[in-house]
Amino acid sequence: ASSIVERRAEASFAYSPKNEFSQFEPNSAVWGENFPREYQSYLETSDTSFRSRYGGSATHDMLAEDPRLVVLWAGYAFSTQYNQGRGHQYALADVKNTLRTGAPAPGKASPQPNTCWACKSPDVPRLMNEKGIAEFYKGTWDTKGTEVTHTIGCADCHDSKTMNLHISRPALIEAFERQGKDITKVSHQEMRSLVCAQCHVEYYFDKKQIEGVAYLTFPWDKGMGMDSIEAYYDSHGFTDWTHSISKAPMLKAQHPDYELFQMGTHASRGVSCADCHMPYKSEGSQKFTDHHVQSPLNNVANSCQVCHREETDKLVQDVYVRQEKLIENRDKLEKLLVQSHVEAGKAWELGATESQMKEILIGIRRAQWRWDFSAAGHGNSFHAPVETARIVASGIELAGNARVELARLLATLGWNREVPYPDIETKEKAQKFIGLDMDALNAEKAEFVKNVLPGWK
């Protein structure tokens, strides 16, 4: 009986703020004192035990699971290391430990700019407020190692006075402005996705606007679809890197989660990211948002089943079936891309001219852009399966056409048979094939971790 009394009391109980702090407080523990439920669940993103068929918070070494990726990214840092993302607690640790940021040491700069911190920490808005936006991005990544010290936290998504959701990153606001949209006018439900869209989006570093600054930019001026973004890059003459085998002018897609999600059924029904990845939860009569941001497959009851009455198994299968059907063809596209790169490499070897290669290389760029756009968002196959499938199919077509042209060109150059498929059975073989000296890279990084990182705490 006393518990009934207690539980009726809960209904009228509310928290009163205990702690005062500023908007730029980067330490989530400070915010957390006022909001213990949210804070406790937020800390759970450090749990790495859940693994679903293709996702989850356990680390997947993507290059080991699929060594073709190494060849697709030959000449680009992604070929050295690429893991599937895990919980927000690891954002900072992972950007420091990845080979992609290199091994800065006294007198030796990181190959990456400070822009790489942009989506990893609430110190970012704080520093931007202190120094200015461009000034923050400026310089190599190692130069702010001592200043960016808190992983993704409350200040990234919340207003400190009202605890309303807010946008802390200029790139998103700027992208809205350039599209003629006002981000302050969006609905509460849209905010429940837009806070994620600060980071879970395709981006590039615009180096043309401000001398010496890799300015974080979302390429949405012509729209957020795969084709519109490609058109944007084409019209800006933008290229991420030149492929080291085929010499194709490549684009890299990074996690276009928000963009693709919008093309799916759930978005069209007004469902937001938080509905699945941060569902509401009630403890007693206290309702709060589960801040353990994670794969909904680890929490089907509170995410999917709020809207769907099917059994857990069935809902999980829904997700897997879509992922499988998509990945089957994405894998084929990957193979075609490996072939295209090595065939183009062969053509150069046999003396092909720039003008003979031009159209072919553009075909490869476009095909791989499609592959990457579909693959880089780890939720795409479920978020928007039909659009993702459309993108994959159009990539297969482009790769096939490029290979027909390559076959004709190779024949002209005197090579009229198959170009052998490289032996890239394992990540190690693939990295060797593209000419990486992994031992050296790993050794350097170990030095960095041992000598430099401790000073960044």
- Chain contacts with its own copies (rule: CB under 8 A): 265, 268-269, 310, 314, 318, 321-322, 325-326, 328-329, 332-333, 336, 385-387, 389-390, 392-394, 396-397, 399-401, 403-404, 407-408, 411-412, 416-418
Return residues touching other proteins (CB under 8 A): 1-9, 11-13, 15-16, 18, 34-37, 161-164, 188-189, 270, 275, 279-282, 285-288, 301-302, 305-309
User: Which range, of 61-69, 112-120, 127-135, 252-260, touches Ca ion by CB under 5 A?
Assistant: 252-260
Of the two residues 86 and 445, which places its CB atom closer to ligand HEC in the complex?
Answer: 86
- Burial per residue of 323-339, b for 16 or more beta-carbon CB atoms within 10 angstroms, e otherwise: beebbebbeebbebbbb
Hey, is 229 helix, strand or coil?
A: helix
The span from the CA of 369 to the CA of 373, in Å, is 6
- Asked if 170 interacts with ligand HEC (CB under 6 A), we say no
Cβ–Cβ < 8 Å for 274, 192? yes
Residue environment code for 221-241, b if the CB has 16+ CB neighbours within 10 A, otherwise e:
bbebbbbebbebbeeeebbbb
Tell me how far apart the alpha carbons of residues 310 and 280 are, in angstroms, rounded to a whole number: 19
> Minimum CB separation from other proteins for residue 40, in Å?
12
Nearer to other proteins, 298 or 394 (CB): 298
Q: Which of positions 391-450 make contact with ligand HEC (CB under 6 A)?
A: none
Angle at 121 between CA 33 and CA 86, to 5 degrees: 95
Instruction: With beta carbons less than 8 A apart as the criterion, state whether 24 and 65 touch.
Output: no
Q: Is 32 in the site for ligand HEC (CB under 6 A)?
A: yes
Site for ligand HEC in 208-267 (CB under 6 A): 216, 255, 257-258, 261, 265-266
- Per partner kind, with CB cut-offs from 5 to 8 A, the member of other proteins, Ca ion, ligand HEC, none near residue 52 is ligand HEC
Closer residue to other proteins (CB): 2 or 49:
2
Please report how the helices 354-376 and 385-412 are oriented relative to each other, as an axis angle in degrees rounded to 10: 160
Q: How far apart are the first and last CA of the chain?
A: 51
95 binds, among Ca ion, other proteins, its own copies, none (CB under 5 to 8 A by kind): none
- Cβ density class 56-72: b for 16+ within 10 Å, e for less: bbeebebbeebbbbbbb
Please check whether residue 69 is in contact with residue 371, taking contact to mean a CB–CB distance below 8 angstroms: no
* CB closer to ligand HEC out of 143 and 401: 143
Choose between 280 and 421: whose C-beta lies nearer to other proteins.
Answer: 280
Binding string to ligand HEC for residues 94 to 123, with x set by CB under 6 A, is what? Answer: xx--x-xx----------x--xx-xxx---
Residues 364-383 close enough to bind ligand HEC by CB under 6 A:
378-379, 382-383
Strands (E), 307-452: none
Report the residue number, 2 or 209, with the smaller CB distance to other proteins: 2
Taking the C-alpha atoms of residue 309 and residue 364, their distance in angstroms, rounded to an integer, is 45
Closer residue to ligand HEC, CB minimum distance, 171 or 347: 171
Q: How far is the CB of 454 from other proteins (least distance, A)?
A: 37
Residues 78, 141, 176, 204: which binds Ca ion (CB under 5 A)?
204
Q: Are 434 and 245 spatial neighbours (Cβ–Cβ below 8 Å)?
A: yes
Which one, 66 or 230, has the nearer CB to Ca ion? 230
**What part of residues 264-293 is at the interface with ligand HEC (CB under 6 A)?**
265-266, 269, 271, 273-282, 287-289, 291, 293
Tokens (6 digits) for 112: 């990456």
Q: Enumerate residues 6+ apart whose C-beta is below 8 A from 339.
A: 403, 419, 421
295 binds ligand HEC per the rule CB under 6 A: yes
Q: Which is nearer to other proteins, 286 or 426 (CB)?
A: 286
Quote the least distance from Cβ 298 to ligand HEC, whole Å. 7
What is the four-CA torsion angle of 402, 405, 406, 408, rounded to 10 degrees?
160
- The site for Ca ion (CB under 5 A) is made up of 204, 252, 254
